[in-house]
Amino acid sequence: MTKRIIRTERAPAPIGPYNQAVVAEGNLLFTAGQVAIDPRTGQFVQGDIRAQTRQVLANLTAVLSSAGGSLSDVVKTTVFLKSMDDFSAMNEVYAEYFKDSAPARSTLEVARLPRDAKVEIEVIAVLPK
């Protein structure tokens, strides 16, 4: 199996022993979960679930772009929410980014996320050859 590590300064640097994304077998991309850290400042984006979801999706867009892809290449997302009470608001923002052909998705409520984030999202994408 071949794999390629993806790193970009346009998304937050990993805060542990992992990579922003890994491409396997040429065009299958797996991202690490992203939280609402602004890569320009390194600061966590304060605000409601909408603001955090926008930053998370901007970070994922940057990682995908660095690997030669885009959100349109995403086939699966996993959304981790601190509270399912935020589901509708997160979903509104999510729908802005995945308009035409939304990927398959799982959404889970979790006890706690890094930096006490309200949302974390990871994706799997099939990159163009």
Mean pLDDT of 104-112: 98
- Looking at residue 129, what is its pLDDT? 86
Whole-prediction pTM value? 0.96
Q: Which of 63-67, 73-77, 97-101 has the lowest mean pLDDT?
A: 97-101
List the CATH number of the domain containing 69: 3.30.1330.40
Mean pLDDT of the chain: 96
In the predicted structure, residue 126 carries a pLDDT above the cut 90:
yes
Range of the domain at 47: 3-126
DSSP string for residues in the chain: --EEEE--TTSPPPSSS--SEEEETTTEEEEPPB-SEETTTTEEPPS-HHHHHHHHHHHHHHHHHHTT--GGGEEEEEEEES-GGGHHHHHHHHHHHS-SSPPEEEEEE-S--GGG-SEEEEEEEE---
pLDDT digits over 7-42, tens only? Answer: 999 999 998 999 999 999 989 999 999 999 999 999
For the chain, the domain total comes to 1
Mean pLDDT of 93-117: 96
